[in-house]
Amino acid sequence: MTQQIRPAEVLLVEDDPGDEMMTREAFEDNKIQNSLHVVRDGLEALDFLYKRGAYENAPTPDLILLDLNLPKYDGRQVLEKVKSDADLAMIPVVVLTTSAAEEDIMRSYKLHANAYVTKPVDLDQFMAAIRRIDDFFITVVKLPGRH
């Protein structure tokens, strides 16, 4: 008997409308059936994760795609909060950012990011990167509650 696996809940934390649009397009073009939720700053991300305010009925994400340079709380602060909270720490966090700075890469991994991806500027490469992230974290690896 095959167990039906529910679509994954993916939280995109992204303040750039263009990058949000490209991510949505990548999900659509790659026929990714997962639910994509978008918040535009670090405070909204924490509200979503802690189910506060407008996000009181938000699902717990199976994967977080996190930009580093965000208003209110930056991605580093969000990452640190997620990975230091026992209830959230097991959620994979992929830092998806324009920065290729070694300092940002090292700091993200020290804060326990699961992966660090520099956003490709080319649309086709960006879409391929999103597909690979989804394939790996949703299809290949085993996540809690998704077996």
Q: 91: exposed, middle or buried (C-beta count within 10 Å: 0-12, 13-18, 19+)?
A: buried
Expressed as residue numbers, the domain containing 15 is 9-133
Judged against a pLDDT cut of 90, whether residue 2 lies above it is answered with: no
Closest CA to 78 of 63, 93, 59, 96: 93
Domain-located, residue 147? no
Domain-located, residue 105? yes
Kindly state the average pLDDT of the residues 74-85: 96
Distance CA 75, CA 63 (A): 15
Domain-located, residue 70? yes
Looking up residue 103, the CATH number of its domain turns out to be 3.40.50.2300
pLDDT tens figures, 17-33: 988 998 888 888 766 67
Domain-located, residue 139? no
pLDDT value, residue 1:
44
Count of the separate structural domains present in the chain: 1
Domain-located, residue 18? yes
Domain-located, residue 81? yes
Write the CA distances from 69 to 4, 75, 95, 119, 135, integer angstroms.
Answer: 37, 6, 10, 13, 25
pLDDT value, residue 55:
97
Residue 7 pLDDT grade (very low, low, confident, very high; cuts 50, 70, 90): confident
Domain-located, residue 43? yes
Domain-located, residue 53? yes
Judged against a pLDDT cut of 70, whether residue 14 lies above it is answered with: yes
Task: Please give the backbone phi and psi of residue 103, each rounded to the nearest 5 degrees, phi first.
Answer: -60, -45
pLDDT value, residue 34:
78
The three-state secondary structure class of 116 is strand
Distance CA 63, CA 66 (A): 10
